[in-house]
Structure 1
Amino acid sequence: MERRKVPDRRQEHSFVSEDRRSGPFDRREKNHRRREIEEEREKIERIRAFKAKDKAASSASPPLFTKKRLIWMGLAILVLVVVLYLFR
């Protein structure tokens, strides 16, 4: 069996007690990682909500008469009425 080079074991492992005081969370920057994970989750939720909104909007049928189509139909009817009125 080996003999210890340092008679007091606590001197050799003093860094462990300092780590315990500051905590493993500080060492690994756990708070920053937690914040990044939360931001990533929020980002994913925003993307999912946006896709769900697009899916809901695309599932609804488009209107039968759009504004542009109504204008053209109105002009066509107006032309027909004018033509019929002039040839009568």
Structure 2
Amino acid sequence: MADDPDLIARLRATTPPLQELFRRPADARAGTDDLPAVRAARAAGARRTLPAGQQARRAALEAQARAAGFASTADAIDATRTGRTRLHRSTRHH
């Protein structure tokens, strides 16, 4: 770059717009969606990441239920179903 100060300007001029740079990989992925190897790889990834996401959501729900004064998410759900008010919440733990 020190030898060619105009290099950056030329590179910028030939670089496609940002939208195009994002669109190309999405189009390429769409073209391979039906390939068995791709589907298998994505399924394997989902088997690893989905349980972690579910666990994080469960933990967040438990924290919200406890912050609202319930003993657990199950207790909050039970209170909603039975129409118990704040004063009648159970203190039992699951």
TM range (shorter): 0.3 to 0.5
TM-score normalised by L of structure 1:
0.34
Larger Rg: 1
